């Protein structure tokens, strides 16, 4: 029941955000001989209208690299990023548009992502978020959902991550962290107790900048579980996933 309520709330969340005054749309002036309007925001959508040089357009919204514009005659269509950049604002300066690129990647502060992998034979799915204190050093917090043949559980860690070459498109990193792991043996097996233990881990990995705000990330971690039993346990984790930065 609770899940249903959460899901319903998730669906309606965007509709209940507080209303704010709609600001006037950005107005641009066509500076090239003409501006092409496409029927949709993507490759292949045909050009159905052209706006001549000197005419004004209103920019209504953006979807990925496409802009929905409206001419002063009320015709609506989609313009691609490169052509939008070639327009001027009403004061005559070139239209400036945010487009995250490799420079933003190098100067990023926040990142968040998901990973998928193997923790000593069990599957693990994890989400994490990280904050860059400097270009080299960041702190990260992650939660992983572990499911194996004999047991399932979760783990949560806090890490310090160091990347020696932040400007590289493929940037290797090393990490060091600590956290807790909980393992619940499966009910179909002989009943055993759930265990919650502290873990410490070291890891190596690399991020690969792909495009826009998007990166791939792969990593290996070695966990040491501090159990209350006689021996500490060692676990290996291999993981790959994708990340967005902000």
- 3 state SS of 9: helix
What distance in Å separates the CA atoms of residue 197 and residue 195, rounded to the nearest whole number? Answer: 6
Q: Are 40 and 63 in contact (CB under 8 A)?
A: no
Beta strand 26-29 with 76-80: parallel, antiparallel or unpaired?
A: unpaired
Q: Is the dihedral of CA 28, 34, 39, 44 positive or negative?
A: negative
Residue from 186, 232, 234, 236 that binds another protein (CB under 8 A)? 186
Under the criterion CB under 8 A, does residue 242 sit at the interface with another protein?
yes
Which alpha helices (H) appear in the chain, and where do they start and end?
A: 2-12, 81-85, 102-106
Of 170, 164, 145, give the one whose Cα is nearest residue 155: 145
Using the minimum distance from each CB to another protein, give the nearer residue, 84 or 199: 84
Using the minimum distance from each CB to another protein, give the nearer residue, 195 or 213: 213
What distance in Å separates the CA atoms of residue 197 and residue 229, rounded to the nearest whole number? Answer: 10
Question: Token pair 């902000």 is at which residue?
Answer: 246
Using the minimum distance from each CB to another protein, give the nearer residue, 89 or 236: 89
Using the minimum distance from each CB to another protein, give the nearer residue, 143 or 202: 143
Stretch that binds another protein, among 145-153, 173-181, 192-200, 219-227 (CB under 8 A): 145-153
| Chain residues 37-96 in contact with another protein, contact rule CB under 8 A | 39-45, 59-68, 89, 91, 93, 95-96
Under the criterion CB under 8 A, does residue 6 sit at the interface with another protein?
yes
Using the minimum distance from each CB to another protein, give the nearer residue, 8 or 133: 8
Task: Give me the residues that bind another protein (CB under 8 A), please.
Answer: 3-4, 6-8, 10-11, 13-15, 23, 25-26, 39-45, 59-68, 89, 91, 93, 95-98, 114, 116, 122-123, 125, 145, 147-149, 152, 186-188, 211-214, 242, 244
């Amino acid at each position: 029941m609770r899940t249903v309520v959460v899901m319903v709330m998730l669906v309606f969340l965007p509709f209940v955000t507080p209303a704010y005054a709609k600001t006037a749309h950005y107005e641009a002036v066509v500076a090239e001989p003409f501006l092409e309007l496409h029927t949709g925001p993507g490759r292949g959508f045909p050009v159905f209208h052209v706006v001549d040089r000197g005419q004004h357009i209103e920019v209504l919204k953006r979807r990925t690299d496409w802009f929905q514009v409206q001419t002063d005659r009320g015709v609506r269509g989609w313009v691609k990023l490169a052509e939008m950049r070639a327009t001027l604002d009403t004061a005559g300066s070139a239209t400036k548009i945010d487009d995250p690129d490799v420079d933003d990647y190098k100067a990023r502060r926040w990142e968040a992502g998901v990973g998928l992998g193997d923790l000593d034979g069990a599957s693990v799915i994890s989400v994490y978020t990280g904050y860059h204190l400097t270009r080299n050093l960041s702190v990260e917090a992650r939660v992983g959902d572990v499911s194996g043949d004999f047991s399932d559980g979760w783990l949560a860690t806090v890490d310090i991550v160091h990347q020696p070459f932040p400007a590289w498109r493929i940037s290797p990193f090393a990490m060091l962290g600590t956290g807790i792991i909980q393992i619940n043996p499966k009910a179909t097996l002989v009943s055993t107790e759930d265990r919650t233990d502290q873990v410490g881990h070291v890891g190596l990995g690399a991020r690969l900048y792909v495009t826009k705000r998007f990166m791939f990330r792969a990593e290996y971690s070695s966990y040491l579980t501090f159990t209350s039993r006689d021996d500490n346990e060692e676990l290996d984790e291999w993981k790959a996933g994708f990340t967005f930065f902000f």
